[in-house]
DNA sequence: ATGCATTTGTTCGTATGTATT
DNA sequence: CAATACATACGAACAAATGCA
């Protein structure tokens, strides 16, 4: 397995071997990996070398070590986001979406402006309710240009994460921008969310562009503050 | 320096000692630190122990090592590199700060919890108003542990950006986290901000840690939504 | 409850490799 | 070329936490 002529340091070879085992699902998240002694014998290197590989993987958040217990493959570290340090999370365990209504037309000037559409082009607006464990946590208005709608099925409109769903059906997003603000619930929104008119909401606006810079979606979501986390970490 | 009866591992004692030297500016960013051999003799421990301390600090981004060259204190990348795509902006042209009041004590349990302080430690709270062009745009409560306050002058409390001001006076932050939410103005806040009780506010909470993970500040700022921008761009 | 085997954590010492000055 | 600096690697010993018979 490990070989000298490579001149790749042994500890890196061990590290890659461990990563391969995890990627191939031989060692699954939450499960034990072989002990340091076993790895020593498998790779025919010293314990220090094994430890160097493991400690690096631990610091990278891939393995989890604890004295006295076996080293395990760390379970999915919560969020795998494109923008390191930015975490958007809805709180709950079971999520679903309820479609309130669909509007199709050439009005909705503000949305059309945000999507960069011309006068003649038309827009679909989907008003949706986002639910966590059956409780409404957000009121959402999703604006999509007609030419994108043509590629969607009815079920596509009920997926919880429309944004990442776009990718799955082959529509590639190259750029998206989120604006965060606060607003207060109007009577219409409050009714759906089971709150009182005037309660505060986290107001999230997202614009997504395709690889050719053409607009894919303009989405405005108003969350109950306690069901939504938006955090930004800065290191260095 | 290093002593056995502590039962704090030697490598952690060395690590701490290095951090102290950096915090006290004895070893400045970009400059060399003593070689592993010198540190061995200073601390009277083996080279492996020194290396364990240094390699961890290197992985934490505090030191920079390179074969053949001296280990240096890593220079902090300038602000804009920190988190590409995340923009926080207050709107206006002329900014200032008004100090409403100062509270000092051992109550304020929530703030102490966020700062990771013990029962006996005390906290200073500064209630400030952030103004843009003379108009109040945010109500801010800034909690600082006593040992940080000791290093501050009265003028330090009136600077507009306390966060980046910390760096200027030599207190080095390694990590900060911002939470964004929404809340509604209570009567007290509304009064200062010139709005009506119940108006929505963007609720920004920031926690800043030093390089030794000790808490530097816990800050809660409530902005008038129209005077604050928080945007996140994602590419790829 | 006790004790023993297992597992990771800390520390030492030594030797050799490789890049920089 | 030599001296210095960090990097890799081995082996050994003991400590501390855990789990099991």
Q: What is the 3-state secondary structure (H, E, C) of A88-100?
A: EEECCCCEEEEEE
Q: Mean pLDDT lowest for which of A77-91, B59-73, B90-104? A: A77-91
pLDDT at residue A188, rounded to an integer: 96
**Confidence category of residue B52, pLDDT binned at 50, 70, 90:** very high
pLDDT at residue A18, rounded to an integer: 92
DSSP A74-91: PP--S---SSTTEEEEE-
pLDDT at residue B81, rounded to an integer: 47
Dihedral angle over CA of A62, A88, B144, B19, nearest 10: 20
pLDDT at residue A215, rounded to an integer: 85
Interface of B with A in 116-155 (CB under 8 A): none
Provide, rounded to the nearest whole percent, the portion of chain A with pLDDT above 70: 86
What's the CA gap between B12 and B49, in Å, rounded?
Answer: 9
pLDDT of B221 over the 80 cut: yes
What's the CA gap between A178 and A2, in Å, rounded?
Answer: 47
Distance A45 CA to C1 C1' (A): 40
CB B173 within 8 A of CB B134: no
What's the CA gap between B94 and B122, in Å, rounded?
Answer: 34
pLDDT at residue B85, rounded to an integer: 75
Chain-wide mean pLDDT for chain B?
Answer: 85
**Which tokens hold the place of B167?**
């760096």
pTM equals: 0.72
Distance B44 CA to C11 C1' (A): 12
**Confidence category of residue A88, pLDDT binned at 50, 70, 90:** confident
pLDDT of B50 over the 90 cut: yes
Of all nucleotides, the one whose C1′ comes closest to residue B58's CA is: D6
Of all nucleotides, the one whose C1′ comes closest to residue B46's CA is: C12
Half-sphere exposure of B92 (CA within 13 A, CB side): 19
Task: Name the residue with higher pLDDT: B183 or A167.
Answer: B183
Residue with minimal CA–C1' distance to D8 is A9
The alpha-carbon radius of gyration of chain B (Å, integer) is 21
Interface contact flag, B234 A176, Cβ < 8 Å:
yes
A236–B contact, CB cutoff 8 A: yes
**Which tokens hold the place of A195?**
């709150």
**Count of CB atoms situated within 10 Å of the CB of B51:** 17
**Considering CB atoms only, which of B177, B202, B233 is closest to A232?**
B177
* Maximum average pLDDT range among A41-55, B73-87, B160-174: A41-55
pLDDT at residue A204, rounded to an integer: 92
Of all nucleotides, the one whose C1′ comes closest to residue B35's CA is: D5
Interface contact flag, B182 A179, Cβ < 8 Å:
no
The secondary structure of residue B32, as a DSSP letter, is B
**Confidence category of residue B54, pLDDT binned at 50, 70, 90:** very high
Distance B208 CA to D14 C1' (A): 39
pLDDT digits (tens, 9 = 90+) for A19-29: 889 888 899 88
pLDDT at residue B3, rounded to an integer: 45
pLDDT digits (tens, 9 = 90+) for A112-167: 888 888 888 889 999 999 998 889 999 999 998 888 877 777 777 777 677 767 66
B191–A contact, CB cutoff 8 A: no
**Confidence category of residue B171, pLDDT binned at 50, 70, 90:** confident
Q: Mean pLDDT lowest for which of A220-234, B18-32, B167-181, B209-223? A: B167-181
**Confidence category of residue A2, pLDDT binned at 50, 70, 90:** very low
pLDDT at residue A87, rounded to an integer: 77
pLDDT of B140 over the 70 cut: yes
Positive or negative CA dihedral for B61, B77, B207, B33? positive
Chain-wide mean pLDDT for chain A?
Answer: 84
* Maximum average pLDDT range among A190-194, B111-115, B168-172: A190-194
**Confidence category of residue A84, pLDDT binned at 50, 70, 90:** low
């Amino acid at each position: 397995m490990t070989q000298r002529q490579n001149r790749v340091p042994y500890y890196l070879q061990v590290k890659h071997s461990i990563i391969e085992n995890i990627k191939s699902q031989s060692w699954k998240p939450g499960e034990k990996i072989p002990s340091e002694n076993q790895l020593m014998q498998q790779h025919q290197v010293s314990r220090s070398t094994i430890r160097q590989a493991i400690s690096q993987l631990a610091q990278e958040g891939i393995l989890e070590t604890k004295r006295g217990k076996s080293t395990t493959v760390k379970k999915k570290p919560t969020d795998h986001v494109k923008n390191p340090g930015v975490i958007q999370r809805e709180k709950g365990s079971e999520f679903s979406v309820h479609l309130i209504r669909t509007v199709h037309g050439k009005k909705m000037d503000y949305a059309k402006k945000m999507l960069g559409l011309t006068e003649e082009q038309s827009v679909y607006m989907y008003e949706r309710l986002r639910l966590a464990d059956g409780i409404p946590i957000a009121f959402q208005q999703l604006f999509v240009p007609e030419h994108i709608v043509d590629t969607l099925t009815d079920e596509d409109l009920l997926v919880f994460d429309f944004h990442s769903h776009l990718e799955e059906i082959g529509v590639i997003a190259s750029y998206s921008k989120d604006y965060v603000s606060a607003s207060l619930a109007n009577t219409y929104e409050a009714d759906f969310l089971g709150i009182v008119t005037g309660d505060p909401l986290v107001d999230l606006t997202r614009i997504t562009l395709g690889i050719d810079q053409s607009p894919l979606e303009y989405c405005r979501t108003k969350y109950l503050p306690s069901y939504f986390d938006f955090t930004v970490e800065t290191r260095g």
